[in-house]
Chain A
Amino acid sequence: METILLQLLNGLDKGSAYALIALGLTLIFGTLGVVNFAHGAIFMIGAFCAVTLSKLLNLSFETIDPEKVDFLGNPAKIKTPYVEAWFGPDFGHALIDWSVPLAILFSIPIMIAVGFAMERGLIKHFYKRPHADQILVTFGLAIVLQEVIKYFYGANPISTPAPDAFKGSFDFGAMLGFDPNMIIYPYWRLIYFGFAALVIGAVFSFLQFTTFGMVVRAGMADRETVGLLGINIDRRFTIMFGLAAAVAGVAGVMYAPILSPNYHMGMDFLVLCFVVVVVGGMGSLPGAVAAGFLLGILESFSSMNAVKSLLPGIDQIIIYVVAIVILLTRPRGLMGKKGVMEE
Chain B
Amino acid sequence: MFGLNKKDTSFLLIVIALTMATPILLQPFAEGSELAQFNGGYPDLMQKIAIFGIFAVGFNILFGLTGYLSFGHAAFLGIGSYAAVWMMKLLTMNVIPAILLAMIVSGLFAAAIGYVSLRRSGIYFSILTLAFAQMSYKMAYSVLTPLTNGETGLQLALDDPRILDGAAEGSSLPVTNIFGIAMNSSYKLEALGRVFTFNVGYYFCAFIAILAFYVAIRLFRSPFGMMLRAVKSNQQRMTYTGLDPKPYTLAAFVISGMYAGLAGGLLAAMDPLAGADRMLWTASGEVVIMTILGGAGTLMGPVLGAGVIKYLENIFSKINEGVLHDWFSFLPDGVENVVIWVFARFTGEGWHLTLGVTFMLVVTFLPGGLIEGLRRLSKRVKHGSQKRDKYDDPDPEHRPEPGKRVAGE
Residues on A facing B (Cβ under 8 Å): 35, 122, 125, 129-133, 135-137, 139-144, 146-148, 151, 267, 271, 274-275, 278, 282, 312-313, 316-317, 320-321, 323-324, 327-328, 331, 341-343
Chain A interface helix/strand/loop/mixed: helix
> Which of A132, A140, A271, A312 has a CB less than 8 Å from the CB of B405?
A132
A135 CA to B124 CA, complexed, in Å: 12
Binary CB contact string for chain B from 52 to 69 against chain A (1 if under 8 A, 0 otherwise): 000000000000000101
Is the Cβ of A316 less than 8 Å from the Cβ of B356? Answer: no
B299-312: CB near A (< 8 Å → 1, else 0) gives: 00000000000000
Task: Give every chain B residue within 8 A of A327 (Cβ-Cβ).
Answer: 120, 124, 127-128
- B403 lies within 8 A of A136 (CB): no
Residue of A nearest to B408 (CB): A343
Docked pose: A317 CA to B282 CA in angstroms? 18
> Given that A132-B405, A316-B138, A324-B131 are contacting pairs, would A278 and B236 also be in contact in the complex, using a CB cutoff of 8 Å?
no
> Which residues 262-316 of B have a CB within 8 angstroms of A?
281-282, 285, 288, 292
Any chain A CB within 8 A of the CB of B253?
no
Q: 8 Å CB contacts to A: which residues of B111-136?
A: 116, 119-124, 126-128, 130-132, 134-135
A125 cross-chain contacts in B, Cβ below 8 A: 364
Known contacts A131-B406, A323-B127: does B359 contact A331 (CB below 8 Å)? no
Type the 1/0 row for B196-226, where 1 means its CB is closer than 8 Å to any CB of A: 0000000000000000000000000000000
Q: Contact at B405–A275, with CB atoms within 8 Å?
A: no
Which A residues touch B116, using CB under 8 A? Answer: 324, 328
Q: How far is the CB of A38 from chain B (nearest CB, A)?
A: 10
If A132-B405, A317-B139, A321-B135 touch, whether A143 touches B119 (CB-CB below 8 Å) is no
Measured in the bound complex, the distance between the Cα atoms of B239 and A150 in whole Å is 49
Distance in Å: Cβ of B21 to nearest Cβ of chain A: 33
A147–B282 Cα distance when bound, in Å, is: 14
By secondary structure, the B interface counts as: helix
Minimum CB–CB distance from B88 to chain A (whole Å) comes to 26
Partner of B123, one of A278, A313, A320: A278
**What is the CA–CA distance of A321 and B136 in the complex, to the nearest angstrom?**
11
Binds A, one of B186-194, B347-355, B384-392: B347-355
Q: Is B359 touching A140 in the complex (CB atoms < 8 A)?
A: yes
Known: A140-B359, A321-B135, A328-B119. A312 touches B143 (CB 8 A): yes
What's the Cα separation between A147 and B131 when bound, in Å? 25
Known A137-B363, A140-B360: A313·B143 in contact at CB below 8 Å: yes
Q: What are the interface flags for B353-370 relative to A under an 8 Å C-beta threshold, 1 for contact and 0 otherwise?
A: 101110110011001000
In the complex, chain B residues whose CB is within 8 Å of the CB of A328: 116, 119
Q: Is the CB of B356 within 8 A of A141?
A: yes
Within 8 Å by CB of B127, from A133, A151, A275, A313, lies A275
Residues of B contacting A130 in the complex (Cβ-Cβ under 8 angstroms):
403-406, 409
Cα distance A320–B128 in the bound complex, in angstroms: 8
> Quick check: is B235 within 8 A (CB to CB) of the other chain?
yes
Q: Which of A129, A142, A271 contacts B130 (CB 8 A)?
A: A271
CB pair B124–A143 under 8 Å, yes or no, is: no
User: In this complex, what residue of B is CB-closest to A343?
Assistant: B408
Minimum CB–CB distance for B138 against chain A, Å: 4
Q: Complex Cα distance A100/B353, Å?
A: 29
Residues of A within 8 A of B69 (CB): 132, 135
Most B-side CB within 10 Å, residue of A274, A278, A320, A324 = A320
| B345 at the A interface (CB under 8 A) | yes
B contact residues around A139 at 8 Å (CB): 285, 288, 359
Once the chains bind, are A143 and B122 in contact (CB under 8 Å)? no
Contacts of B185 in A (CB 8 A): none
Q: In the complex, what residues of B have CB within 8 A of residue A136's CB?
A: 288, 292, 359, 363
Known interface pairs A144-B356, A324-B116; 8 further A-B residue pairs with C-beta atoms within 8 A, sorted by A's residue number:
A130-B405, A130-B406, A131-B406, A136-B363, A144-B360, A151-B345, A282-B124, A331-B120
Inter-chain contacts of B363 with A (CB < 8 A): 133, 136-137, 140
Q: How far is the CB of B78 from chain A (nearest CB, A)?
A: 15
A320 touches B350 (CB 8 A): no
Which of B236, B281, B360, B408 gathers most chain A CB within 10 Å?
A: B360
A317 proximity list for chain B (CB < 8 A): 134-135, 138-139
B142 contacts A by Cβ under 8 Å: yes
Check: B141 CB closer than 8 A to any chain A CB.
yes
- Chain A to chain B contacts (Cβ below 8 Å), 9 pairs: A130-B406, A140-B357, A271-B281, A278-B123, A320-B131, A323-B127, A324-B116, A328-B116, A341-B124
Nearest Cβ distance between residue A136 and chain B, in whole angstroms?
5
Residues of chain A within 8 A (CB-CB) of B282 are 267
CB distance from A230 to the nearest CB of B (A): 30
CB pair B131–A35 under 8 Å, yes or no, is: no
- Whether A133 and B367, one on each chain, are in contact in the complex, defined by CB atoms closer than 8 angstroms, is yes
Chain B residues with CB under 8 Å of A144's CB are 353, 356-357, 360
Give the docked Cα–Cα distance between A151 and B356 (Å): 14
Chain A residues with CB under 8 A of B138: 313, 316-317, 320
Complex CA gap A136/B143 in Å reads 32
What CA separation (Å) do A343 and B236 show in the bound complex? Answer: 9
A151 touches B405 (CB 8 A): no
Contacting residues, chain A, for B352 (C-beta < 8 A) = 143, 146-147
Asked if B142 contacts A313 (CB within 8 A), the reply is: yes
Q: Are A140 and B356 in contact (CB under 8 A)?
A: yes
- Chain B residues whose C-beta falls within 8 Å of the C-beta of A133 in the assembled complex: 363, 367, 403, 405
Chain B residues contacting A143 (CB-CB under 8 Å) are 352-353, 355-356, 359
Report yes or no: A275 in contact with B367, Cβ–Cβ below 8 A. no
Shortest beta-carbon distance from B12 to chain A in Å: 29
Q: How far is the CB of A143 from chain B (nearest CB, A)?
A: 3
Question: In the assembled complex, which residues on chain A have CB atoms less than 8 Å from the CB atom of B355?
Answer: 143
